[in-house]
Amino acid sequence: MTLRVVSVQRNIGVSIAWVAVLYTLPVFGFVAYILLGEPMIGRRYRERVDQASILMNDMARREHLIFDKGQDLLPANYRGVSQIGTRWTGFGVFPNHQMQLLTDPASIFQRLIEDIRAAQRIVLMEFYIVYPKGQVLEVIEALSVAAQRGVECHILADSVGSFSFINSSVHRKLEKAGVYVHQSLPVGLFKTLFKRSDLRNHRKMVVIDEHIGYIGSFNLVDPRFF
């Protein structure tokens, strides 16, 4: 098990910690490492990740994007973070974006609902937590109406974080209206034996008509109820 830890773990500090646990509490350490030590996410998920990487790389090549494109548009103290994103995706920096920081739930819900109501082609939403209470129900209603008038609508919700949503009547109402609801990283007692159920999808993103994007730390929840 020591050889396994040393050969698999990239972080030296993590390796030392696991080896210490293994030698201090052998039985517990063995079981804990089997269950939690490595990011076992399943073969199908890895295949999808590989497919997504291929799509991104093909898109970057097709658009003839180069790694240093637009870096000079940014203040020097932001370029390091930008270059990390470019290295991972192949996408550079582009000018003429309008950005706004939304800092309170009321403005977030208002803008999001307005943009969904104005959508013409597609709405893509990805959240760790979707909690169908309060103003979230207004977002759900706007999505349902958009889908019924022909807009392609998708929600990707984490299976654990959005458990109450996935098992609710709201979920069924959305699907009946034509909204595609997808579970991210579904869990189950049998699956837990073969892949890590504690690794979750914490992303929060919305893309509307490939023109408007929301990204940040706000889940689809109304703080008055969650």
79-130 tens-digit pLDDT: 888 888 888 777 777 778 888 999 999 999 999 999 999 999 999 999 999 9
pLDDT tens-digit series, residues 152-198: 999 999 999 999 999 999 999 999 999 999 998 887 766 666 666 77
Q: What is the pLDDT of residue 193?
A: 64
For residues 165 and 185, state if they share a domain. Answer: yes
Q: Shortest CA distance to 135 belongs to which of 159, 111, 118?
A: 111
Name 119's Cβ contacts closer than 8 Å, sequence gap at least 6.
Answer: 146, 151, 208, 209
pLDDT of 194 reads 66
Same domain, 33 and 53: no
**What is the chain's mean pLDDT, rounded?**
88
55 pLDDT above the threshold of 90? no
CA distance 39 to 224: 35
**pLDDT at position 204:** 96
Residues 123 and 77 both lie in one domain: no
145 vs 93: CA distance, rounded Å: 35
In the chain, the number of structural domains is: 3
Which residues form the domain of 72? 43-89
Query: Are 63 and 24 within one domain?
Result: no
- Domain presence at residue 110: yes
- Residues 178 and 117 placed together within one structural domain of the fold: yes
Q: Check whether residue 71 and residue 158 sit in a common domain.
A: no
Give pLDDT tens digits for 21-52.
Answer: 999 999 999 988 887 887 776 777 778 888 98
